[in-house]
Structure 1
Amino acid sequence: MNNEIERLIAKHYPNAKKGEEITDTYLSFLRDEYQSDLSKMLFATSLCSDDINVSTNFRKVLTRPFTLGGMGGLPYAGLTGMIAFAHHVPDGGDAFIFYGPHIGITDEGELGKMRRPGQKHLTNSCGALMLALERIKRIEDVYIPVNMEIDYQQTLLERSVMPFKQRILEAEQPEKEITEVTYNNINYRVHELVKICKTEFNCERVFLLGGVIINTSPEFSDYVDVRTFEVLDLKNIEQQDLISILQSDAFKNL
């Protein structure tokens, strides 16, 4: 069955790797290639609040994660949150941010749903994104997300995907497309916040790892489809762009 799950995931995300492989590969690379002291690395996430994502991050190696994300993975902590994270980096350490949305896949290959631990029935994953998709599919009226203090994160998530409504609805797999749109939104906002706050970091480097988490049934591993792996060298503050680690010879030769 493991091989069948791998085949189903590869159909949609051919470059995805198991979560534990991502953790080992990327942290080992930072330790060996960048001589990063993992005991002094402050880790942050901009992932969905969903409890299922705890199995596919770096908490088994890195301690004291700083939470930037909320429903759908958008960095709701915003400017204040990023500045706080920047100020908390240990002396002589590095900052590392792992971010992105998540999407479930069933044992039969259906995207946007999964079987969760302790449950026999299927539920949505990402629940917040699938709810947003359900709402923008309405044909009897035009859905407009209205600010609601009691549910403001969901409102902001839905507003972030609304400009891409037609692209999502016309896609062959709307569940996958709304996840792609959200990855791009998270990626843009994380980069924007890091660049705005770059003089605030108590370190010389910020590492960014972005991707889409693929949730499977409890018997199997979750996967990550990595999209970006970058470093901002804060010593060269005039440099505006982040450097892609994925394109480096050292990473290609892993």
Structure 2
Amino acid sequence: MAITKKVTAYYPNAKSGDDITESYLTLLEKEYNSDLKKMLFATSVCSDDVNVSTDFRRVLSRPFTMGGLGGLPYSGFTGMVAFSHHIPDGGDAFIFYGPHIGITDEGELGRMRRIGQKRLTNSCGALMLALERFQSDDDVDTYVPQSVHYDYQQIQLEQTLMPFKNKILTADNPKKAITDYTYTAIDKQIKKLVSMSLNEFHCERIFLLGGVIINTSEEYNDYVDIRNFDVIETKSLEPFKPKSILELDAFKNL
């Protein structure tokens, strides 16, 4: 498929959302004997309506939504604790997270043709807006209080990315760079929140699956570039340290 070549030119390890869903849920069932009917699913992805790339929510019940603009876990510590308290008895926790970026049929990153539209629009719109402000040298710290109150998530997103501003602007592809650095920020925040609330989890395992979602036109499947797949043993006596499943032979053979 032509779109696959365009996606993998930027993300060589990307796979379709359907493939990601089947592969990882099968891995959880067969390698970890996880009961998917008792698994509570959470997401920290952008609130954009295009982010339905995987079928996790069709297999796993009641997704707990942590993310907002850009995919940052805006629900914070309170949200993570609430999620930890909702896991079924004998079940596991599973959190899928990451930013998203569009790609046109011609292979341009940062834009896409959405369902029912002929024109191209930005994806992720919040990240492309942040990039435009960085390029125009706008300072998010100078926003007036009313703006902070009524546009909290966008301003928080830009402040979170501010330490990466120079690297983003000098990258070969700033649109890809701002997306990649957003992934870094989300990954760090999710793991920090899990660490802070670990004692509140009554399940034995927390699975963390993170990656970048690549949105395509409606004729094609969306793709996901997986960046990490970790398991946290909540009863472990060792200090908090996610264990990467990426090193398992079972994962390598997906």
TM-score tier (shorter): over 0.9
Find the counterpart in structure 2 of residue 160 from structure 1. 160
Do the aligned partners of 1:56 and 1:213 also contact (CA within 8 Å) in 2?
no
The answer on whether the counterparts of 1:100 and 1:211 sit within 8 Å (CA) in structure 2 is yes
1:185 aligns with 2:185: yes
Which amino acid counterpart does residue 236 of structure 1 have in structure 2? S
- For residues 86 and 242 of structure 2, what CA distance do their matches in structure 1 show? 21
* TM-score where L is the length of structure 1: 0.96
- Which 5+ residue runs of structure 2 have no aligned equivalent? none
Segment drifting more, 191-200 vs 232-241: 232-241
1:112 aligned residue: 110
Residue 78 of structure 1: how far off its partner (Å):
0.2
Show CA shifts across 1:61-105 (max 9, x none).
111000010000000000000000000000000000000000000
1:243 maps to 2:239:
no
Q: Report what 2:97 is aligned to.
A: 99
Matches within 5 A, 1:28-43: 28-43=26-41
Aligned length: 250
Aligned residue among 12, 18, 29 for 2:10: 12
- 1:151 maps to 151
- How big is each residue's C-alpha offset from its partner over 1:195-244, in whole Å with a ceiling of 9 and x where there is no partner? 11111012000000000000000000000000000000012143421111
Paired residues of 2:98 and 2:186 also in contact (CA < 8 A): yes
The residue identity in structure 2 corresponding to 1:24 is E
TM-score, scaled to structure 2 = 0.96
1:75 is matched with which residue? 73
Code of the residue aligned with 1:175 in structure 2: it is K
Q: Is the 8 A contact 1:90 1:202 kept in 2?
A: no
Distance, in Å, in 1 between the alignment partners of 2:214 and 2:28 is 24
Q: What secondary structure does 1:59 align onto?
A: helix
Query: Which runs of 5 or more residues in structure 1 are unaligned?
Result: none
Instruction: State the identity as a percent.
Output: 62
After the TM superposition, list the runs of 4 or more consecutive aligned residues in structure 1 that deviate by more than 4 angstroms. Answer: none
Report what 1:227 is aligned to. 227
Counterpart of 1:205 in structure 2 is: 205
Q: For each residue in 1:132-189, what CA deviation from the matched residue of structure 2 results, as whole angstroms up to 9, or x when unmatched?
A: 01111115xx423435111100000010111111111111110000001100000000
Number of the residue aligned with 2:131: 133
Q: Give 1:31's aligned amino acid.
A: E
1:87 alignment partner, one of 85, 88, 96 = 85
